Amino acid sequence: MAISLAFGALISLICGLDRVAILQIMISRPIVAAPLTALALGEPLIGLQIGVMVEFLWLARLPVGAAVPPDDTQVAIASSVLAIVLGRTLNVSGIELLLLCLLIAIPLGKVGQYFDHYARQYNVRLIKQVDLALDRGSLMGAEFQHLRGLTSFSLASIGTYAIVVLGGLLIVPFLWPLLQQSLSHSSAWIQLALPLVGIAVILGTINVSRAITLFCASFCMSFLLMWLV
């Protein structure tokens, strides 16, 4: 278990940095991060299922300018780790546990947004250091300050991951016996509903004038075609 959690932390760090600080090759998207985590822990399919459910939830929240979107990367990674680790300890498999972990991780993941905020606020201190370094005539010093910013972003990622995983480890085993039975009645429906909620939010907030019309037309058309076949 400790090894799994550590693996998760490592991936949380790499993907977390990809979000803002470096690269931006989108390994931070849930559809990539969750399967990657789950692959490292040996059960890629669980990650894929979680990735699909989380990917669309906050896709409509764009990282525009100084706006900080919710940290879907850490929600995806942490809930994959939780689902796999708890699945092994509680010796259960199936979509219900996965859903419970995810539903606990989603609200806990809210801290990610605050941490991200703090990291960017904390980096304001680097400005002063850069200015001082330049006054001293040390360009190397100024370069170093820039790289120091990576620490705050790393801490924010790992911190979010730790809080979601710890919270999940405390809450899920407690709720699981209570909800296992009741959740089985609706689990398949919830699994379907989560990506659809995300897609609906995209429709509502995307900058395309006739988004809903286009969507409905495409939906009905595809639906009727499948029905014909």
Interface residues for other proteins in 25-64 (CB under 8 A)?
Answer: 25-27, 29, 31-32, 35-36, 39, 44-45, 48, 51-52, 55-64
CB of 131 to other proteins, least distance (A): 7
Cβ neighbors of 82 (< 8 A, separation 6 or more) are 101, 104, 105, 164, 165, 168, 169, 172
CB of 88 to other proteins, least distance (A): 20
Q: What would the two tokens of residue 224 be?
A: 């009727």
Measured from the CB atom, is 36 or 165 closer to other proteins?
Answer: 36
Q: Which of 130, 148, 128, 149 is nearest to 139 (CA)?
A: 130
For position 227 contacting other proteins by CB under 8 A, the verdict is: yes
Piece of 82-90, 155-163, 169-177, 193-201 that binds other proteins (CB under 8 A): 193-201
Interface residues for other proteins in 73-102 (CB under 8 A)?
Answer: none
Distance CA 9, CA 57 (A): 23
Distance CA 176, CA 183 (A): 9
Measured from the CB atom, is 162 or 211 closer to other proteins?
Answer: 211
Interface residues for other proteins in 115-174 (CB under 8 A)?
Answer: 117, 120-124, 126-127, 130-131, 134, 137, 139, 142-143, 145-150, 153
CA dihedral 165, 96, 53, 74 (to 10 degrees): 0
